Amino acid sequence: MAPPPFSLTLDLIARAHPDPVEDDATALHLLTDAELLPGLEGAVAGKPGPAGEIWVFAYGSLMWKPEFAVRERRIGTVRGFHRRFCLLQRRFRGTRERPGFVLALDRGGLCKGVAFRLEGSDPVATLMPVWRREMKGSGYEARWLPVDTAAGRVHALAFVVNRLGDRYAGRLTEAEIAEKIALACGHLGPSAEYLLRTAEACAELGIRDRHLMALQALVAERLRGCGMPLGPVPGPRAEPGPG
């Protein structure tokens, strides 16, 4: 089956956000490895399934930028949670003045994504890179969730939105989410780029996600009609980092 056409394009995004944005380290407090370690050790202690198998469930940027060694990957479905842009991003792909959004798992429905089996025999050392990337901004809660795949069920570490945190946006409409995504750009790039790359990754894997397709069309419409450029205050371009 051919992938669906996208209204949103990298060219459209680049014309809307032509200037680099300076990083504001005060916009989001990041936890250190020492602060992250107890939570990771607690998660590993409660890991279900075979001791030698370490799985992570990817539903957003981890699908197209995993940044860890992979032994196996499977398309899989998590039930009881759905993929949604509900986590505000005031740094990396947004600013204080124009916060963007990143994806999280929120309650209800189901989510199809990718279950990655990681290379490594030490669960703490193996998981620390992804734990650092996803947990340092205090936006997520980590849970071991059952993932149904064609080859059987596995239990994978998944990152669920922290509903009690100040970054949780609640149930905004797709039009409201699209407005913020269209305007937002941080030192790692526009929020719209994160949306497009995730939508493209899902399409390439044969995952049909109505939320992503609706948002990319709404963001494209907003960018075409707003007048260019939209970008915030220019600053030096940062080195690539987590999306």
Give the integer Cα–Cα distance in Å for 76 and 86. Answer: 22
- The residue ranges of every structural domain in the chain are 28-225
Q: How do residues 2-61 score in pLDDT, each as one tens digit?
A: 556 899 999 999 999 999 999 999 999 999 999 999 999 999 999 998 888 999 999 999
**Residue in this structure with the two tokens 């940027």, named with its chain if needed:** 61
Q: Which residue has the higher pLDDT, 230 or 197?
A: 197
DSSP tag of 234 = B
Q: Where are the alpha helices (DSSP H) in the chain?
A: 10-16, 33-45, 61-64, 123-135, 174-183, 191-204, 210-225
Tell me, what's the pLDDT at 233? 39
Q: How do residues 146-160 score in pLDDT, each as one tens digit?
A: 999 999 999 999 999
Q: How do residues 45-103 score in pLDDT, each as one tens digit?
A: 999 988 889 999 999 999 999 988 999 999 999 999 999 999 999 999 999 999 999 99
Confirm whether 179 is a catalytic residue: no
Tell me, what's the pLDDT at 238? 37
**Catalytic residue, candidates 22, 72, 97, 134:** 134
Tell me which CATH homologous superfamily contains domain 28-225.
Gamma-glutamyl cyclotransferase-like (3.10.490.10)
Tell me, what's the pLDDT at 52? 83
**Residue in this structure with the two tokens 């940044």, named with its chain if needed:** 67
Tell me, what's the pLDDT at 234? 39
Give the integer Cα–Cα distance in Å for 5 and 10. Answer: 14
Tell me, what's the pLDDT at 230? 52
